Structure 1
Amino acid sequence: MRVVTGDKFEKFVNENAILFPEYRKNRDELLDFVDSLTGEETVVTASLELIDLIAWKFRRGEENVLIYSDTGGALTLKEVYELRKYLDFDVRGGLSGERARTSVLFVEGKTDAKFFKAVFKKLFEFKESREAPHSLRFIERVFERDNFDLLRREEDGYYLAVIPSEGNSGVIRNLGNLLRAMEVFDFRVDRIGAAIDVDEDRESALASIRGKLSGFRYKKTPFGYLVGETEVIPLIIGLPFEDETIEWKKPTVEDLMLHLIAREGLLEKIKPGLKALNESLGRKLKPKEVMYLALSAYGHWGNLEGFYELFVMRSRFRNLKAVLREAGLIEGLFYLAGREGERRR
């Protein structure tokens, strides 16, 4: 199966191609058309709904591709399906040559996204933005959702997008798909951050990123890996937390928050409650359970994501920076924020 889109589709048209008009077609007609396809056809279309249906049906197999006629580049329909599902990416293109001072940070989940969003606002003077740069227009619509965050620094116009990705594997998947999309659609972002937890050890986490980059030409840099003109910055989250009331198993963003609430003095205030709950349950508490207790003690009656963002924003600058430095994240964060030339105190 070949799906052709873009403005220069004429060279792909032959006697076997189906020119599918995107207007005046309801969903039932689209479904009937897709059901009739055998996989041997070439379909020329600018209909995102039709592309979604075809990508779902033919997402298996390397031979099933979408061709962007403006560049002649191709994505597998599996890649198209994932770009649409996880990034709401507009695979019709129209982005050729677009670039701006922009970073994208993929994180594991919504709480991670709110934590890092607050870090960039607190440390690097970013503010929330509703206007996307041209190099991020491919996912501009996703920023209408509450769990996607687009930030901009007013003084230099630097943009940063923070995008949750459904776990470590989701971060790695989105990283690879975005790099492939930049190849095919000829646009650029300056830097892509990949924030993942240490599951076994730091080297294994880095190996998972390098494994995804093995499908591209890349070289090592002081901060990460250079793929074309885009630098990939690993942010490996791993900062053990030791406490007699808390059961620590593996590093997550919750551990960064535990260190921060300890430095801010909140952990000590809730210690009597933690010990009482330990005795009542007959076990140590999980980090996320501690976070809910801290949320209640802090007087925040929203959700955990809102608490993460609020607490980071209200924390002392030096305490937040100390936790991030101890976790080995501060250098990468400075780089993603476009502040790598500043002195780190």
Structure 2
Amino acid sequence: MRIVTGDRFEAFVDEKTFLFPEYRKNRDELVAFVDSLRGDETVVTSSLELIDLIARRFWRGEENVLIYSDTGKGLTLREAYELRKYLDFDVRGGFSGEEAKTGVLFVEGKTDAKFFKAVFKKLFEFRESREAPFNLRFIERVFERDNFDLLRRDDGYHLAVIPSEGNSGVIRNLGNFLRAMEVFDFAVDRIGAAVDIDEDRESALSSITGKLSGFKTKKTPHGYLVGRTEVVPLVIGLPFRDEIIDWKKPTVEDLMLHLIAKEGLLERVRPGLEALNGSLGRKLKPKEVMYLALSAYGHWGNLEGFYELFVMRSRFRNLKAVLREAGLMEGLMYLAGWEKRR
């Protein structure tokens, strides 16, 4: 199965080609059309709905591809399916124009995204933006506005913070995004991949380098150069030890625990923690501590909002100390394009 998109599709047309079969068809008719396909046809289309239907049916198999005719390069339908499902990426292409200095950070989830968003705003002078440069227009065109954060600094540097679904989601999105840049001929300057240390730092790094093994890479002081883009690994791991907190593995919650401890909030809520600990007859989970801290802080929103608010209101020296202790400060500074401002 071949799906062809883009403006230069004529060279891919043969006797088994369907040209824009979505024309004047409703969804039921498109579903019926896809059900009639055997898998050896070529479909030229500009319909994301039709692409989704075909990719959902034919995503298995390396022979099933989506070709972007403007470059002649292609993705497997599995890659196209995952770009659509997890990043809502517009696989019709068409990204062009003047590029600006840009970075993208893939993180595990929405609480991670709000934490790092606040870090970039607090430490590196970013502010939220509603306008993107041309090499980030794919975000404005295809990402849901509540599922990512787009930031801009006055020097013109742009940064997108995009949540994934766990460590595996970060790695999957990193690989698919690098492939999309190859195929659709656009680039960002730096991509951060923030993953938790599940077992040890080397295992976490190997998950990133393993994904990069499918690309031509060059080692750099901060990461790996893939084409015009530098990939910056960010490994999260700063254990938090406390006699009433049940710490198991490193997450962004640990960074928050260290920060609320440095800011004095942990001691304020300790009587409540001890009372809950005695009532439950067990140690408290980090998330339970977060909810008590959220309540004591007077924030009645969700954890995502609390993370962002607390980081923004924390002292510079405390936030920097936590990030340095976690080994994240240098990587975040580089991803933010801040290394020349020290």
Superposition TM-score, scaled by structure 2 size: 0.98
Q: Partners of 1:164 and 1:191 in 2: how far apart?
A: 16
More displaced, 305-314 or 133-142? 133-142
Distance 1:143 1:15, change over 3 A: closer
What is the Cα-based RMSD across aligned positions, in Å? Answer: 1.1
Quick one: distance in 2 between partners of 1:43 and 1:142?
22
What is residue 28 of structure 2 aligned with on the other side?
28
**Count of aligned pairs between the two proteins:** 342
Deviations 1:87-108 (A, max 9, x none): 1111111125763211000000
Q: What corresponds to 2:258 in structure 1?
A: 259
Residue number in structure 1 paired with 2:245:
246
Structure 2 CA distance for aligned equivalents of residues 23 and 35 of structure 1: 17
C-alpha separation between the residues in 2 aligned to 1:337 and 1:58?
39
Q: Is the 8 A contact 1:168 1:196 kept in 2?
A: yes
CA 75–131 in structure 1, closer or farther in 2 if over 3 Å, else same: same
Q: What letter matches 2:49 in structure 1?
A: E
Tell me, yes or no, if the aligned pair for 1:98 and 1:187 is still in contact at 8 Å. no
CA distance in 2, matches of 1:98, 1:106: 24
* Contact 1:113–1:147 (CA under 8 A) maintained in structure 2: no
CA contact (8 A) 2:22 2:30 kept: no
Deviation, 1:243, is 0.8
Cα distance in 1 for residues equivalent to 2:147 and 2:90: 19
Matches within 5 A, 1:87-166: 87-96=87-96, 99-154=99-154, 156-166=155-165
Instruction: Spell out, residue by residue over 1:275-294, the C-alpha distance to the aligned partner (whole angstroms, 9 max, x if none).
Output: 11111111111111100000
User: Within 5 A, what are the aligned runs for 1:44-55?
Assistant: 44-55=44-55
Measure the CA separation in 2 of the matches of 1:144 and 1:313. Answer: 24
1: distance between equivalents of 2:47 and 2:103? 29
5+ long unaligned stretches in structure 2: none
Structure 1 position 15 matched with structure 2 position 41? no
Counterpart residue type for residue 122 of structure 1: K
Does the Cα contact within 8 Å between 1:4 and 1:44 map onto a contact in 2? Answer: yes
Contact 1:172 1:208 in 2 (8 A): yes
Map of 1:40 onto structure 2? 40
Equivalent in the alignment of 1:310: 309
Matched, 1:327 2:323: no
Q: Secondary structure at the match of 1:146?
A: helix
**2:58 is matched by which residue type in structure 1?**
F
- The reply on whether 1:193 has 2:202 as its aligned counterpart is no
8 Å contact kept, 1:103–1:161: yes
User: What's the counterpart of residue 296 of structure 2?
Assistant: 297
Give yes or no for contact 1:83–1:89 (8 Å, CA) kept in 2. Answer: yes
Alignment-derived partner of residue 201 in structure 2: 202
Contact 1:102 1:160 in 2 (8 A): yes
Structure 2 counterpart of 1:150, one-letter code: L
- The structural deviation recorded for 1:143 is 4.9
Q: Report Cα offsets for 1:282-326 as digits up to 9, x if no partner.
A: 111111110000000000000000000000000001110110010
Identity %: 84
Q: For residues 214 and 62 of structure 1, what CA distance do their matches in structure 2 show?
A: 18
Note the C-alpha offset of 1:144.
4.2
- Secondary structure at the aligned position of 2:271 is classed as helix
* 1:6 counterpart residue number: 6
Deviation for aligned residue 1:53: 0.5
**2:96–2:134 CA contact under 8 A, matched in 1:** no
1:121-164, Cα deviation, whole Å (9 max, x unpaired):
0001111111121111122145543231100112x111000000
- Name the CA distance, whole Å, in 2 between partners of 1:260 and 1:153: 25
How far off is 1:21 after superposition? 4.3
2:15 is aligned with what amino acid? E
Kindly indicate whether the alpha-carbon contact (under 8 Å) linking 2:246 and 2:286 is maintained by their aligned counterparts in 1.
yes
Distance (Å, rounded) in 1 between the aligned partners of 2:226 and 2:34:
36
Q: Say which is worse superposed, 314-323 or 18-27, in terms of deviation.
A: 18-27
Q: Is the 8 A contact 2:90 2:141 kept in 1?
A: no
- CA, structure 1 residues 71+98, in 2 after alignment: closer, same or farther (shift >3 Å)? farther
